[in-house]
Amino acid sequence: MSISRRAFLASASLAVAAKPAPAKRVAIAPCRTYGSELEPTLAKMFDQIGGLARIVRNKTVAIKINPKTSALIIQDLQNDVITEGGAFADSGAPAHAKKQNVVANVKALAEAARKAGMTVIHVWFIVEPGAPGLKLNAPLFRGVKEAKAMVRGTWGAAPAKGLEAKKGDLVVEKMRMNAFHDTHLDTILRGLGADTIVISGAWTNFSIEHTARHGADAGYRAVVLTDGTSTVNDEWQNAAINFALQNVAERVSCKDVIKALGKR
């Protein structure tokens, strides 16, 4: 097993060799304390949650975006993360990024954002050679060091082709999953007068979730792009977009945001 694959398995706790089994509907047992009358109520609640998830997946969502008070965040779409030949290629991330068409979708949105006067902020995970100062308190961070990933100046740390920073874009470097943690992202956003963050990037169930949650807690309106994000497979994408982020962020497609920008 390669170092990069070991690193991924340690950080994501996935059995890469076997496709995860489809999620099963769990039967709700009657509550012994309050009686079985709660079972229909809970079942209805879970059905409603599933219905909302299906709506997000299958319908075009109307959304309003003010480019003057919004910022597009392009996070961790770097070669080591989503490109074949990168440090974590064995995870399945490159294949899922291609399936999501994430590079082309985000590139198109970034172009529309710049044209509309919306700030584009690139957030890159960057470490120095040997990863000095990277606290190895979690499997994910240990995986980054073991795989020698995202090292400054290397091809792996560079943004995926087509997502390079353009004139007028801003770049934020980080060493944790959360784009806000110990970076100047919040300072930049407040200085710009931004109240909305439109989040794209990888991996959806790691960095994207962390950034959206922090953004919401910090008072920002968080919008996560359903086809401008990717992870390692559809199961994890669905879990993040349709469940974990359900009450944290609005979830729309890149085309939805492009359409909203074009209306102004």
Which pLDDT value is given to residue 264? Answer: 64
Which pLDDT value is given to residue 60? Answer: 60
Ordered domains of the chain (ranges, CATH): 54-127+157-262 (3.40.50.850)
Which pLDDT value is given to residue 62? Answer: 82
Report residue 31's pLDDT band, with 50, 70 and 90 as the boundaries.
Answer: very low
Tokens 């994408």: give the residue. 237
pTM: 0.80
Which pLDDT value is given to residue 263? Answer: 80
Average pLDDT of the chain, as a whole number = 85
Q: What percent of the chain has pLDDT over 70?
A: 77
CB atoms within 10 A of CB 39: 14
pLDDT digits (tens, 9 = 90+) for 201-221: 999 999 999 999 999 999 999
Report residue 129's pLDDT band, with 50, 70 and 90 as the boundaries.
Answer: very high
pLDDT at 132 over 90: yes
Which tokens belong to 32? 């012994």
Give the separation between CA 89 and CA 80, rounded to whole angstroms: 7
pLDDT at 112 over 90: yes
> Contact at 8 Å (CB) between 204 and 243?
no
> Contact at 8 Å (CB) between 214 and 185?
no
- pLDDT greater at residue 18 or residue 248: 248
pLDDT digits (tens, 9 = 90+) for 55-78: 344 456 789 999 999 999 999 999
Find the range with the poorest average confidence among 8-22, 162-176, 202-216.
Answer: 8-22
